[in-house]
Structure 1
Amino acid sequence: MPAQGRSRRRDSARGGDSDPVAPPSRPRIELIADTDHPGGAMLVMDDVRQSYVDIDDPTYLDFEYIQYFASVLATLPDGPLAVTHIGGGALTMARYLQACRPGSPQIVLEPDTELTELVRRRLPLPRDHRIRIRPQDGRAGVSALADASADVVVLDAYADGRVPAALTTLEFFTDVSRVLKADGLFLANLVDEPGLRYLGRVLAGLRAVFGELALVSSNDVLKGRRFGNVVLAASSTPLDVDELRRQIARQPFPAGVRDDAQLAVRHGAARPWTDADSSVSPEPARDGWRIR
């Protein structure tokens, strides 16, 4: 999804995977080869950088928030994981998991069939993968999944640069909890402006459903210096926050972790978003996401 932050190699990069709620008008889609990094390609939609894939090395993760996803997943036991992705794009995270945890059965909910066909044609998936793409949006796709069928659910879904309101409500999180196994993990890539008031209400919903939370973001976002991406982790069982902090300390750009106790102090009074009272995420600074 659109990401306000740095890549490993260029501060101007913006990225993420695509929108699981089909946009009202057809976006202009491009796959641009990275001349500085053989095998690399950027998915761009309406001049907004959405996903980066290295077809030769799927473990190469260009955007900060995707690196945070990988850091959280590294705290889980080794071996295959059953993962559902809400939002597809260029399938960055699905490819990464296929490479790092071969044999992982994965479902990707991506309603934009034209985007999926382009990505499959230009950036083919590896042989023997277990990635299945379903042309469904997030709410409908999750509601169709079986109980306790996923180890991990990953939310990385944007419409016109904003997280759809239907994907951050108490009711939606309750359905995600149904799909997850008892010790399952929910991961979300969200965005907010300084003050993190929108995120506070998302955290309230996650706390009501799961109970155990952690937040990862760049230091400048955590200090309220800019609009940016925040990765949330939620589970009904304790998260290994100490190991997560060790993983994040290895990232190329300064980032921090906030545990559940710290989040409760800062955001404990917030009310959850609900289906009757919900909102998309704050509007991004679109000029900051244009290709330079």
Structure 2
Amino acid sequence: MPGLYPVTFGEIELLRDLDRQDGWVLSKDGVPQSYVDLQDPTYLDFEYVRLMADVIDLMPGGALSCVHVGGGACTIPRYVATTRPGSRHIVIEPDGLLVDLIREQLDLRSVPRLKVMVLDGREGVARVWDGTADLVVLDAFAGATMPVELATAEYMSDLARVLRPSGTLLVNLADGKGLAFTRRLVATVRGTFGDVALLAEPGVLRGRRFGNLIVAAARSGLPVDLLTRRAAGGLTQARCLHGEELTRFVAGAPPIRDGEPVSAPVPPPAVFG
């Protein structure tokens, strides 16, 4: 049912998509957090989620073992469960009442082979066994802000620990003018992973407007040429920065480390009306 629901960390609003009978938006403090279509999990309404799906689609075929840091309405687990049957999912989400809400209102029980750990992102990943994941998706926000403790070099090393040698990391972040936080986060990821790419809509990538950017990383072997063409050919016509172009983008920005006084960017009030 549409409406406002209390959760552990505030209040969630569920909104029905008037254009799609089974489409739902999960929103917190006026910020859209997740979109799901209960009858068609392959329909991805948010542009940045489509970019993440492009990376996933280009991974080697077959079922995947996945770890998702940040639950929301579990859009990506639903997508992978549909496009790659037999995949297994661990979802790490600190808000237990939100998990209960999604189970009851948005049919989370229908997603096979999904386990939820009601823990914060640091503690949850620490409990995952070494070398067990093909895919780690870091998509955790407090409102519209990425928690800085999930953007540090130490945490990236822990994410790398749970990935198999051929595994892929996806990070969703949001940034605006100057992209200073993005540059530091990319530098942080590059300190752990040998192959890194950055994807975003051109206006966001130039710092002209606040929006989402996707970092894709692996020890080696990102399908950069295919990913570049796929991102450019989508509805977002996104750009993909890699190699020397990404080095120029980072421009010597230092990695983020535990304990540093770093602030994640906050969107201007006009972004969400």
TM-score when normalising by structure 1: 0.88
Q: Distance in 1 between matches of 2:170 and 2:117?
A: 19
| Equivalence map 1:142-153=2 (5 Å) | 142-153=125-136
Name the structure 1 match of 2:57: 74
Work out whether 1:241 is the aligned partner of 2:224.
Answer: yes
Q: Distance in 2 between matches of 1:263 and 1:146?
A: 31
Unaligned runs of 5+ in 1: 1-22
Name the structure 1 match of 2:80: 97
Q: Distance in 1 between matches of 2:39 and 2:142?
A: 29
Name the structure 1 match of 2:107: 124
Report if aligned partners of 1:163, 1:280 keep a CA contact under 8 Å in 2: no
Q: Distance in 1 between matches of 2:82 and 2:181?
A: 34
Q: Distance in 1 between matches of 2:61 and 2:143?
A: 36
Percent of residue pairs bearing the same amino acid type: 41
Name the structure 2 match of 1:228: 211
| Equivalence map 1:109-188=2 (5 Å) | 109-125=92-108, 127=110, 129-188=112-171
Greater relative contact order structure (CA < 8 Å, 6+ sep): 1
Q: Tell me whether 106-115 or 259-268 shows the greater mean CA deviation.
A: 259-268
Out of 158, 176, 183, which is 1:200 matched to?
A: 183
Name the structure 2 match of 1:16: none
Work out whether 1:50 is the aligned partner of 2:33.
Answer: yes
Structure with greater proportional strand content: 2
Cα offset, 1:127, TM superposition: 4.1
Specify whether residues 109 and 280 from structure 1 end up closer, same or farther in structure 2 by C-alpha distance, changes over 3 A only: farther
Specify whether residues 278 and 70 from structure 1 end up closer, same or farther in structure 2 by C-alpha distance, changes over 3 A only: farther
Deviations 1:153-199 (A, max 9, x none): 10100113211111010100011111110111110000112221111
Cα offset, 1:128, TM superposition: 6.5
Q: Distance in 1 between matches of 2:110 and 2:211?
A: 36
Deviations 1:198-223 (A, max 9, x none): 11111111111112110000011122
Unaligned runs of 5+ in 2: 1-6
Alignment root-mean-square deviation, CA: 1.5
Partner amino acid, structure 2, of 1:42 = V
| Equivalence map 1:13-52=2 (5 Å) | 26-52=9-35
TM-score when normalising by structure 2: 0.94
